[in-house]
Chains A and B, each alone.
Chain A
Amino acid sequence: AQSVTQPDIHITVSEGASLELRCNYSYGATPYLFWYVQSPGQGLQLLLKYFSGDTLVQGIKGFEAEFKRSQSSFNLRKPSVHWSDAAEYFCALNNAGNMLTFGGGTRLMVKP
């Protein structure tokens, strides 16, 4: 069965600092992987996705993620965090069928 784990429930970083949010998955083949962001009281917005090719994918708002098959990971990164990045972040996996499996989410807080 496929699964997605986000080990960090909460992360706090200072504005301007770098950010890395962890995502590990379990799936028997190459998955389609996604990162979504949810601002308070809002729906989920797609940040980026990976399904083949270059393992480093660029997304919106200055985010990037790297697919590492050997580590079953798809970590999200940003070199310099802005206060507006405070939100909840969800990693998700799709096995090319109709269903996304989501991680439990990581809540990011940004200190001024």
Chain B
Amino acid sequence: SQTIHQWPATLVQPVGSPLSLECTVEGTSNPNLYWYRQAAGRGLQLLFYSVGIGQISSEVPQNLSASRPQDRQFILSSKKLLLSDSGFYLCAWSTPGQGFYGYTFGSGTRLTVV
């Protein structure tokens, strides 16, 4: 069966420090991968998605970047965190061309920038 892992679960980082959040999927090949953010009291904001290794699409300009170094690995990074980067970050995957299955989400990372 397919599983998705996100880590760490919680993170407290000072302003200006770097960030690296990792997401891996098991049990499937060539998944579409997504990074979402939820700011406090707000809905889901799509940050990045990827349809293959090295292929990243950015939905909003921001202080963050994403990379996909391996087929089932998706990394969210920042060189210098801002206070506004605080939030709940969710990774998700889907099967290409099979939209009726929806997305499967990881358990999320709570990031607090202090």
- Give the number of residue pairs across the A-B interface with Cβ within 8 Å: 58
Which of A21-29, A60-68, A71-79, A93-101 is the interface stretch?
A93-101
Does B15 belong to the interface (CB within 8 Å)? no
Q: Is there a chain A Cβ closer than 8 Å to B94's Cβ?
A: yes
Give the residue of B44, B96, B97 whose beta carbon is less than 8 angstroms from that of A105: B44
Q: Counting CB contacts under 8 A, is B7 at the interface?
A: no
Alpha-carbon distance between A36 and B105 when the two chains are bound, in angstroms? 10
- Verify B43–A98 contact, CB threshold 8 A: no
CB atoms of B106 and A94 under 8 A apart? no
B76-104 residues at the A interface, CB under 8 angstroms? 88, 90, 92, 94, 96-97, 99-104
Q: Are B107 and A42 in contact (CB under 8 A)?
A: yes
Of A43, A90, A95, A105, the residue contacting B99 (CB under 8 A) is A95
Residues of the B chain whose Cβ atoms lie less than 8 Å from the Cβ of A94: 99-100, 102
Cα distance A40–B43 in the bound complex, in angstroms? 13
Tell me whether A98 and B49 are in contact (CB under 8 A): yes
> Does A56 sit at the interface, judged by CB under 8 A?
no
Tell whether, in the assembled complex, residue B44 and residue A43 are in contact, meaning their CB atoms are under 8 Å apart: no
Query: Is B56's CB within 8 Å of the partner chain A?
Result: no
A100 to B99, CA, bound (A): 8
**Chain B's nearest CB lies how many Å from the CB of A63?**
15
Q: Can you sample 27 A-B contacts with CB below 8 Å?
A: A34-B102, A36-B102, A36-B105, A41-B110, A43-B106, A44-B105, A45-B105, A49-B100, A49-B102, A51-B100, A90-B43, A92-B102, A95-B99, A97-B99, A98-B32, A98-B49, A98-B51, A98-B97, A99-B46, A100-B94, A100-B99, A100-B102, A100-B103, A102-B43, A103-B43, A104-B42, A105-B43
Q: What 5 pairs across the A-B complex have the smallest Cβ distances?
A: A43-B105, A94-B99, A51-B100, A104-B43, A44-B105
